């Protein structure tokens, strides 16, 4: 499924780092930044998460609730959050069901090898559950600025 600006957000139910199920329907009335990333602890993923952390107050001031989502399990998310003092929930999607709904689980090429992986993408969702913006060219070190522009 390929989503576009103006589409309603697909149903999202995934466990956070504490094993608590998060349902995006519970966040209607709030703006959401949902960033998909490949793996906790990799350099680019860490830069993205830390940039959002460093600009978290500005994101909150604009009314955003921030969620990261990757295939990593809850325990890995806990370590990543603790190590980098991340103030937002990280959701676990080990079977890629949410990623497939958003069209971000896809073929990737790395050094001539084709494999399935996460397309680093951020969805900005408005208060009504409508996709307001899709950032497919994530600038890891300035991602919050891409969201806040």
- Which tens digit of pLDDT belongs to each residue from 4-34? 999 999 999 999 999 999 999 999 999 999 9
The answer to whether residue 134 sits within a structural domain is yes
Helices and strands: H and E segment counts in the chain: 5, 9
The answer as to whether 20 is a domain residue is yes
Residue 5 lies inside a defined structural domain of this protein? no
Question: Which tens digits make up the pLDDT trace of 28-45?
Answer: 999 999 999 999 999 999
Based on the structure, what is the number of domains in the chain? Answer: 1
- Going by C-alpha positions, the residue among 51, 33, 48 that lies closest to residue 132 is 33
- Catalytic member of 9, 22, 33, 45: 45
What's the N-to-C CA distance of the chain in angstroms?
Answer: 27
Asked if residue 3 is part of any domain, the answer here is: no
Q: Active-site residue 50, yes or no?
A: no
pLDDT of residue 1: 54
State the pLDDT at residue 113: 86
Per-residue three-class SS string for 77-133: HHHHHHHHCCCCEEEECCCCHHHHHHCCEEEEEECCEEEEEECCEEEEECCCCEEEE
Q: How far apart are the C-alpha atoms of 147 and 110, rounded to whole Å?
A: 27
Assigned domain for 73 exists: yes
Q: What does the DSSP 8-state code read for residue 137?
A: S
CATH number of the domain to which 131 belongs: 3.40.30.10
72 is a domain residue: yes
Give me the domain span that covers residue 24: 13-148
Structural domain contains residue 142: yes
- Is residue 90 included in any domain, yes or no? yes
pLDDT in tens, 50-92: 999 999 999 999 999 999 999 999 999 999 999 999 999 999 9
106-121 per-position pLDDT tens digit:
988 878 888 899 999 9
């Amino acid at each position: 499924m390929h989503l576009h600006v103006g589409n309603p957000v697909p149903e999202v139910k995934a466990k956070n780092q504490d094993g608590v199920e998060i349902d995006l329907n519970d966040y209607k009335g709030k703006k959401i930044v949902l960033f998909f990333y490949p793996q906790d602890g990799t350099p680019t993923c860490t830069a993205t998460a830390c940039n959002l952390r460093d600009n978290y107050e500005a994101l909150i001031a604009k009314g955003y609730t921030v969620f990261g989502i990757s295939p990593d399990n809850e325990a890995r998310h806990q370590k990543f959050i603790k190590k980098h003092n991340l103030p937002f929930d990280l959701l676990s999607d080990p079977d890629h069901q949410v990623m497939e709904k958003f069209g971000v689980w896809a073929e990737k090429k790395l050094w001539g090898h084709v494999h399935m992986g996460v397309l680093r993408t951020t969805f900005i969702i408005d208060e009504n559950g409508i996709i307001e913006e899709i950032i497919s060219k994530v600038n890891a070190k300035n991602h919050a600025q891409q969201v806040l522009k």
